[in-house]
């Protein structure tokens, strides 16, 4: 489904701010894999997701999504294959538009504008059902402006919008980090459900080791721009935070450090 072959990326090459962010990333995701991504500060987690999305060109290596070589393609050309949700709840939705308008926009992504804008009855019914599944009462607020929603409600809606066209790959970049723990847990639960119901392949960056262990079928750890651990199957199910910290030290020879890391 996703293949990253020897991906390298250096920012600000030849300047005092030169930073080798990706240092030969290799990763193969199977169809339906849900991989959680952890690592210390500046390990290259977000940069890996940005490389997949084509935010900028990589220096070398290749990126294949669903059998298509995306390496030279623009972010725009890759967009139909991808759904993305970021940390900031303000990021994925249009605050001054209604919930129903946001969903309709997401559903029409990639289509020519100028078509009739009205939302049909059957679309409305579909959106209502989708919203009801979130169990946040949003199905009764379809004409509310999104700016009135809480951060958690907004992230849940963003998740729906990012997956409404069933992307080949869903990229979640610390999408619950700005939420309080209870809301974060709820949005994570919804993420699990949406990924499972739609049989999506997904990558989720998190600084919370426990969430990385609980969610997904596979866990990778990054350090200094490389994947240094890849744990799946039964081994992942049995993992503890202590195991992870120990493995990190074994493989990297350093102590794990991330200002944001939640180990508990
Ligand atoms: N657009 C950019 N321009 C310059 N440097 C960048 C850019 N994007 C990332 N970097 C640098 O690349 C390195 C990897 O960053 P990245 O955001 O991928 O880390 P991360 O693993 O997500 O870390 P964190 O947990 O701290 O968010 C960092 O040193 C970062 O400062």
Over residues 1-26, the pLDDT tens digits come to 999 999 999 999 999 999 999 999 99
Residue 211: the pLDDT is 94
Angle at alpha carbon of residue 32, lines to 23 and 78, rounded to 5°:
60
| Domain topology for 2-98+150-252 | Rossmann fold (3.40.50)
Residue 169, strand partner residues: 82, 201
pLDDT at 118: 77
pLDDT digits (tens, 9 = 90+) for 147-196: 999 999 999 999 999 999 999 999 999 999 998 888 899 999 999 999 99
Q: What is the ipTM of this complex?
A: 0.97
Torsion from C-alpha of 260, 54, 33, 188, nearest 10 degrees: 40
Cα–ligand 1 centroid distance for 234 (angstroms): 32
Q: Which residue has the least CA distance to atom 9 on ligand 1? A: 47
Pocket test for ligand 1, best of 7, 21, 178 (most atoms within 8 A of CB): 21
42 CA from centroid of ligand 1 (Å): 5
- pLDDT score at 159: 94
| pLDDT at position 201 | 97
The predicted-structure confidence for 48-93, as pLDDT tens digits, reads as follows 999 999 999 999 999 999 999 999 999 999 999 999 999 888 888 8
- Domains of the chain, residue spans: 2-98+150-252
3-state DSSP call for residue 83?
strand
């Amino acid at each position: 489904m996703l293949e990253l072959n020897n991906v390298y990326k250096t920012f600000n090459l030849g300047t005092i701010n030169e930073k080798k962010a990706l240092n030969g990333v290799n990763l193969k995701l199977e169809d339906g894999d849900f991989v959680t991504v952890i690592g210390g500060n500046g390990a290259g987690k977000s940069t890996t997701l940005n490389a997949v999305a084509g935010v900028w060109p990589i220096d070398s290596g290749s990126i294949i999504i669903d059998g298509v070589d995306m390496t030279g393609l623009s972010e725009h050309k890759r967009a139909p294959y991808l759904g993305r949700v970021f940390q900031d709840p303000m990021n994925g939705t249009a605050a001054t538009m209604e919930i129903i308008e946001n969903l309709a926009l997401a559903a029409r992504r990639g289509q020519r504008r100028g078509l009739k804008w009205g939302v049909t009855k059957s679309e409305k019914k579909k959106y209502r059902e989708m919203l009801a599944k979130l169990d946040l009462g949003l199905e009764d607020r379809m004409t509310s402006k999104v700016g009135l929603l809480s951060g958690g409600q907004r992230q849940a809606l963003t998740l729906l919008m990012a997956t409404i066209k069933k992307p080949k790959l869903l990229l979640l970049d610390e999408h619950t980090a700005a939420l309080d723990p209870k809301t974060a847990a709820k949005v994570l639960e919804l993420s699990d459900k949406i990924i499972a119901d739609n049989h999506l392949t997904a990558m989720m960056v998190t600084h919370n080791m426990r969430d990385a262990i609980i969610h997904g079928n596979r866990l990778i750890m990054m350090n200094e721009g490389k994947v240094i651990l890849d744990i799946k199957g039964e081994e992942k199910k049995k993992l503890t935070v202590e195991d992870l910290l120990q493995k990190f030290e074994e493989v990297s020879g350093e102590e794990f450090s991330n200002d944001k890391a939640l180990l508990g």
